[in-house]
């Protein structure tokens, strides 16, 4: 990933990444060039969205235990799954989610899945708990990007196949989902009233999961995830917030994010407005955006990037 900060201009947005330890908007410059990023927090972000959905490239193995994002060389239109055909066919990671079910796997993917993996529970602002897995190098960033209020690592498994089977077992035994829609996460943050109740629910789900794993003769060693400070203002009910009244995927926008939870941000529209607006920058994934001195509808803000 290039560490060059973007200038005003056109990009295909690849969404929000926490791979660097903090939230960054990952961007593929047009017409070409390596991926770059912009820091999300405390910088004015002005952008205009173009039409259509565009390929967000692919993942390749940087070495035996790490994957990295690669921009689509053609900046092509997206097809099924948010990629173009050539990027889909060359994606080193495309069989990972079916690996434990005997799906086709390259030698590189087999090596990647052979490293230790973690089983975790993550609970969101509406009390929904999901079960998930993360490879050892993604132990931290995987949870940081989820947009969760509370999370706990349950088991460190010897390899990805073993841990994914445990994930499926908890889904079957406890009815725990493995996915939560981004729109539900955002709405729940807007409606958050009692974080203590969410924590209590999470702790109850952890206890249920530990008991279920014990029935499978799998000893759990619960370890609480430490949330990044960038999301602290969104994990409380003391911060005034409302849903952003515009579609971030259309038109012109000018915002200054001041807190980030996964890809959901609390943003200010002007320096005098203490109330923040909630929006999901992850919805920009696959959009063509132009960075520059753009303002949100109905405001006088002229938010230029840097």
| pTM exceeding 0.95 | no
Chain Cα centroid distance, residue 164: 20
Residue with tokens 């079916």: 98
Residue 125: CB atoms within 10 Å: 26
Model pLDDT, residue 250: 94
* DSSP bridge pairs for 255: 45
- pLDDT by residue for the chain (306 residues), tens only, comes to 555 567 889 999 999 999 889 999 999 999 999 899 889 999 899 999 988 999 999 888 777 667 788 999 999 999 978 899 999 888 776 655 655 555 566 777 788 888 999 999 999 999 999 999 999 999 999 999 999 999 999 999 999 889 999 999 999 999 999 999 999 999 999 999 999 999 999 999 999 999 999 999 999 999 999 999 999 999 998 878 899 999 999 999 999 999 999 999 999 986 555 678 999 999 999 999 999 999 998 754 344 343
Domain residue spans of the chain:
1-56+228-306, 57-227
Q: Alpha-carbon distance 194 to 125, whole Å?
A: 9
Predicted local distance difference test score (pLDDT) of residue 300? 41
Q: At what angle do helices 195-215 and 160-174 cross, to 10 degrees?
A: 110
End-to-end CA distance of the chain: 20
Contacts of 70 (CB under 8 A, 6+ apart): 35, 57, 58, 59, 60
What is the 3-class SS of the chain, one letter each residue? CCCCCCCCEEEEEEEEECCCCCCEEEEEECCCCCCEEEECCCCCEEEEECCCCECCCEEEECCCCCEEEECCCCCCECCHHHCCHHHHHHCCCCCHHHHHHCCCCCHHHHHHHCCCEEEEEEECCCCCEEEEEEEHHHHHHHHHCCCCCEEEEEEEECCHHHHHHHHHHHHHHHCCECCCCHHHHHHHHHCCCCHHHHHHHHHHHHHHHHHHHHHCCCCCCCEECCCCHHHHHHCCCCCCEEECCCCCCCEEEEEEEEEEECCEEEEECCCCCCCEEEEEHHHHCCCEEEECCECCCCCCCCECCC
- The residues that bridge with 131 in the sheet, in sequence order, are 121
| Tokens found for residue 107 | 């030698």
121 vs 154: CA distance, rounded Å: 7
In angstroms, what is the C-alpha Rg of the chain?
20
Q: How many CB atoms lie within 10 A of CB 256?
A: 20
């Amino acid at each position: 990933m290039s560490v060059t900060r973007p200038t005003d201009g056109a990009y295909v947005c690849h969404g929000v990444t926490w791979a660097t330890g903090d939230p960054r908007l990952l961007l593929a410059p047009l017409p070409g060039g390596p991926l770059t990023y912009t820091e999300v927090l405390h910088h004015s972000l002005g952008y205009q969205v173009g039409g259509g959905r565009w390929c967000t490239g692919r993942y390749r193995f940087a070495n035996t235990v790490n994957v990295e994002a690669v921009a689509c060389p053609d900046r092509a239109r997206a097809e099924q799954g948010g990629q173009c055909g050539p990027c889909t066919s060359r994606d080193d990671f495309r069989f990972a989610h079916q690996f434990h079910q005997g799906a086709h796997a390259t030698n590189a993917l087999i090596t990647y899945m052979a490293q230790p993996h973690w089983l975790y529970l993550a609970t969101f602002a509406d009390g929904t708990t999901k079960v998930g897995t993360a490879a050892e190098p993604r132990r931290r960033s995987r949870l940081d990007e989820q947009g969760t209020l509370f999370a706990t690592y349950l088991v460190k498994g010897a390899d990805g196949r073993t841990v994914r089977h445990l994930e499926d077992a908890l889904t079957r035994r406890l009815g725990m989902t493995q996915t939560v829609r981004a729109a539900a996460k955002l709405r729940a943050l807007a409606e958050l009233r009692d974080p203590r109740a969410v924590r209590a629910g999470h702790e109850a789900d952890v206890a249920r999961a530990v008991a279920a794993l014990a029935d499978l003769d799998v000893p759990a060693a619960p370890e609480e995830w430490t949330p990044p400070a960038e999301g602290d203002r969104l994990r409380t009910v003391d911060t005034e917030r409302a849903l952003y009244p515009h579609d971030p995927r259309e038109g012109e926008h000018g915002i200054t994010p001041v807190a980030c939870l996964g890809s959901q941000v609390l943003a200010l529209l002007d320096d005098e407005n203490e109330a923040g607006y909630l929006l999901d920058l992850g919805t920009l994934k696959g959009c063509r955006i132009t960075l520059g001195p753009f303002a949100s509808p109905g405001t006088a803000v002229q938010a230029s990037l840097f």
